[in-house]
Structure 1
């Protein structure tokens, strides 16, 4: 009896100690977060240079991250910044007398071409201030060089590299691995080009998918080369030739073909920067990172507000989490904005490859209702495809970048049959007791769908596709037959989408805001971003959990973590899906 008392007392003591340590940890973190958030952003000192390294995670919109300014283990303090803050801080630096120029030091850039174009356009606008932009790197990836090409001067380490060989996109196919595991992915879809399911049922691209990827990749490449040709005064034909022959790989070739202005070591760059700032060799250069730059506080001028509502990430049912478009959350935000008399127009900023068809329709309904009360203009980011296009279709007007991936009007259902894995490899079996013929439909993991069950699901998928097409036809004022001809799950670039009537204009977020002001007949207005940021203290636990999980994945899997995460996302999906492949990456 004494033994059990001692064991129980020990367990109780451990639990109490754990609770005390847990809350103590939270208190310490809260204090650190409080001090960090108070001083993390500051104005630039006089005679400063704004620094863009681009080695941080670029999201569509900056969210509360209480660990971003703390030096904590396990990767929970990884630097992160939203595209919205990058653009606004470059704009602020343009008129900041303390900022004399911009120093870019990009090697790789982890974002899509539409976001890159937005940053590049902001830098181009910055140059109108007559302040300098200098780019330097030990090695430029193609995306990094595209961004650097806007600079007044581009420099490269004499032993460095410049990767210029054309764009490519690759897809990982998992059918062979699933076959070995005994997993059969049962697909019900509509759309010849609906390729999101291909990695699970094929070992290579279908001809239809290869056709669409070639089409949109060529369109993006053309826009990419157009900007480089204009910036570096090199003909587009020459750029094609250099890429096809892989002529530009190192600093010597980059200088020979006028991709850079000079080869430099870092000490030479520092010496030049000091000359530009008119300081002595002994003086230090005042560098302000864009992640720390305070920029300027948006002032509310006038009484009319244009709300910029951000919807980015996968579209999911319910509330969703940070980086997801929760059907309930975004529709609630739209209702609030519709009922707010101060808000005279709404700009819906979409960066999404889609997701739940049901959640997409929930959001579409609120967009349609809001348009009846006040203007709704859509601004598309890197993606606004499938479910992302669904929620855009009801808007008054749609703006996209040339390289935005959009369209993909099609739907699918993906139901795994785990019979081979569970029964044959693990030895687990299931047995049903049911009160109706279809009572166990999709609820037993080791039962393949019958032809009758497939037909039932196909009817629902077809109905969802028909509804999708109807939403687009009414929103774009075209026939359902026209929608079907450009639908079928096919992905288009923004430039292509403009030609076939899926978008109205090529332009960035500012262009969409100006269009909203014109539509609302506003002469004096201010903008405000939604959803509002979470309180830093409220996000401590959720942020740390997600960051630690991502760190663990990265430690074990490196760059291959993304494939596991995409598979995990897909397996969590419920209901009929309207999405493009989540792993479209262009290099």
Structure 2
């Protein structure tokens, strides 16, 4: 009925919409043409004014603006730049790490300067991976200088490696440990007259429990407490080691934060300086003068190369075999999707393309909390086909590879994860909504005829009339079957008994260190380790790693460049965090976009979405 109402409304306004569309489209077309002319003029001017002289004794300057992600989102059209003011900036981790790695042996580069003022963080495993790249850079005896107007916990983890840590005179640092909270909507559903039928399978499968409970379940509290405690210990230990603090120093500071701040008259910058978290306080002019003393430039300022303009071509290896790298980043959804979301059809097509191009091995880099059960299986079965053709498959888990992210990984030849990777979550999430009473409150009622007791069962999770027992039974048996399949698959692929998998399943999440102990993964290691293992499995000595990704037109590539150059995105997420606004509501409704499985059944780890 809901669809009928929707379709009728569309027909009524169709003619009016067509007329208005033309009027609205005309100024946009004109504006777009003007904008493209400006772009062409800019390109011409940039090429004409390009200087071939390479700067010497420069700093590689990186402004970390946004989230650190495995695969940054694509710009799909001009509207993404001109009209999408809510877009959140993203930094592709591999690109940042590659630039830092190349700068290590670049004779032009004297040091590294990172500005963390607008950094929004990332998964703990990804932050620690970035730390490894910086540690490798420092082996060249080149200096690393960190600056931020105000350091968050995530930014300070990376900044703590710096030879010199600077914050603004009105800046500071805030360490807080972790908290994990959700919005629970049982009373809201009751007041709206919506009956929620919880069908998730697994005692720890908490992805959708906030619809049926008023508070967090004990099982979810247990797994979150253990998860966050381990990750926080790893982070605090890393910071203490980097800054030469005694063990337990950070715990003591956080526990006495209020008293310490009172003693410093509420001055966060002085607190950070006196407690040894930063080395110096500087205003903008003092910072500019300091950087100019370290990297002397001309009269226009200090000598640096912006990371967006820094490019060193890799040495070509002749007659090299190809190892394909395919990245699965973000929630797994049905269909074809651009970067930032893992479309089941998209990833499957990339795997097929790699096989057609006669690659010798595939490295699947997974950074996903899961999502659609159907789309997850499409990806896994495509990998299985490649494996059956004799192509070694090695998985490298990033910050998270849980539920559907684990499902797509389990049939590979070898699985790597970081110690703080979030994985597991072997369970099934599903829920139904009976909105019959809710629509009665606004004068609506669904009525008609059905030709079987289960007609319309898989039309979506929202029912406008109460689903009968046979419909619910249909869902329950489907979900139970999917869970049994998950247990059987892990048992078969990981050489574990079903009883063992059942005991570590139930939807529970594990960190990489525990996943190794439990047999869910093979090794603790990095993406580079996974690439080397893939080469060994394929008996390769002379090889290159080539990323297989969606092909993009030259026009879209230009749009991506200009978005970075013009810096015109609003970054609403940064504003929420910067001013301390609780954005649980924003996150919840933003995450609803991943619920698109054709049967409304998910391999999804919700707690993995919120730790980032």
**TM-score normalised to the size of structure 1?**
0.87
Q: Secondary structure at the match of 1:161?
A: coil
> Which of residues 169, 182, 185 in structure 2 aligns to 1:171?
182
Report the Cα distance in structure 2 between the residues aligned to 1:210 and 1:584, rounded to whole angstroms: 16
> Which of residues 144, 151, 158 in structure 2 aligns to 1:140?
151
Shift of residue 257, structure 1, vs aligned partner: 3.0
Q: Does structure 1 residue 414 correspond to structure 2 residue 437? A: no
Q: Does structure 1 residue 48 correspond to structure 2 residue 64? A: no
Give a deviation string over 1:261-318, Cα, whole Å, max 9, x none. 23333433333323322558x561133333x133223344142111110111211222
Report the Cα distance in structure 1 between the residues aligned to 2:80 and 2:561, rounded to whole angstroms: 13
Contact 2:68 2:126 (8 Å CA) reproduced? no
Check 1:484–1:265 CA distance in 2 against 1; reply closer, same or farther (3 A cut).
same
213-222 or 149-158: which moved more? 149-158
Q: Does structure 1 residue 570 correspond to structure 2 residue 595? A: yes
200-209 or 106-115: which moved more? 106-115
Match of 2:9 in 1: none
213-222 or 265-274: which moved more? 265-274
Report the Cα distance in structure 1 between the residues aligned to 2:446 and 2:86, rounded to whole angstroms: 41
Match of 1:257 in 2: 275
Q: Does structure 1 residue 534 correspond to structure 2 residue 552? A: yes
Check 1:497–1:71 CA distance in 2 against 1; reply closer, same or farther (3 A cut).
closer
Give a deviation string over 1:160-188, Cα, whole Å, max 9, x none. 22112322222222333333222222221
Q: Which runs of 5+ in 1 are unaligned?
A: 1-9, 545-549
Q: Does structure 1 residue 368 correspond to structure 2 residue 384? A: yes
CA RMSD after TM alignment: 3.5
Q: Please list, as runs of the form range in 1=range in 2, the aligned pairs for 1:487-498 lying within 5 A after superposition.
A: 487-498=505-516
Q: Does structure 1 residue 232 correspond to structure 2 residue 239? A: no
Check 1:145–1:218 CA distance in 2 against 1; reply closer, same or farther (3 A cut).
same
Contact 2:199 2:476 (8 Å CA) reproduced? yes
Contact 1:88 1:295 (8 Å CA) reproduced? no
Report the Cα distance in structure 2 between the residues aligned to 1:556 and 1:148, rounded to whole angstroms: 21
Q: Does structure 1 residue 445 correspond to structure 2 residue 463? A: yes
Shift of residue 56, structure 1, vs aligned partner: 2.6
Match of 2:75 in 1: 65
Q: Secondary structure at the match of 1:416?
A: strand
Q: Does structure 1 residue 105 correspond to structure 2 residue 111? A: no
Check 1:32–1:421 CA distance in 2 against 1; reply closer, same or farther (3 A cut).
farther
Contact 1:309 1:529 (8 Å CA) reproduced? yes
> Which of residues 393, 406, 413 in structure 2 aligns to 1:396?
413
Shift of residue 516, structure 1, vs aligned partner: 1.4
> Which of residues 339, 343, 355 in structure 2 aligns to 1:326?
343
Q: Please list, as runs of the form range in 1=range in 2, the aligned pairs for 1:198-237 lying within 5 A after superposition.
A: 198-237=209-248
> Which of residues 482, 491, 498 in structure 2 aligns to 1:473?
491
Shift of residue 405, structure 1, vs aligned partner: 1.1
Contact 1:68 1:77 (8 Å CA) reproduced? no
Match of 2:101 in 1: 91
Match of 1:123 in 2: 134
Contact 1:90 1:123 (8 Å CA) reproduced? yes
**TM-score normalised to the size of structure 2?**
0.84
Report the Cα distance in structure 1 between the residues aligned to 2:519 and 2:51, rounded to whole angstroms: 45
Q: Please list, as runs of the form range in 1=range in 2, the aligned pairs for 1:489-568 lying within 5 A after superposition.
A: 489-537=507-555, 559=583, 560-568=585-593
Shift of residue 71, structure 1, vs aligned partner: 8.0
Check 1:36–1:353 CA distance in 2 against 1; reply closer, same or farther (3 A cut).
farther
Report the Cα distance in structure 2 between the residues aligned to 1:324 and 1:565, rounded to whole angstroms: 13
Contact 1:299 1:526 (8 Å CA) reproduced? no
Shift of residue 122, structure 1, vs aligned partner: 1.1
Report the Cα distance in structure 1 between the residues aligned to 2:448 and 2:573, rounded to whole angstroms: 40
Shift of residue 134, structure 1, vs aligned partner: 0.6
Shift of residue 382, structure 1, vs aligned partner: 1.6
Match of 1:276 in 2: 294
Q: Which runs of 5+ in 2 are unaligned?
A: 1-15, 262-267, 563-568
Number of aligned residue pairs: 569
Report the Cα distance in structure 2 between the residues aligned to 1:522 and 1:37, rounded to whole angstroms: 42
Contact 1:432 1:440 (8 Å CA) reproduced? no
Shift of residue 391, structure 1, vs aligned partner: 0.2
Report the Cα distance in structure 1 between the residues aligned to 2:200 and 2:21, rounded to whole angstroms: 51
Match of 1:312 in 2: 329
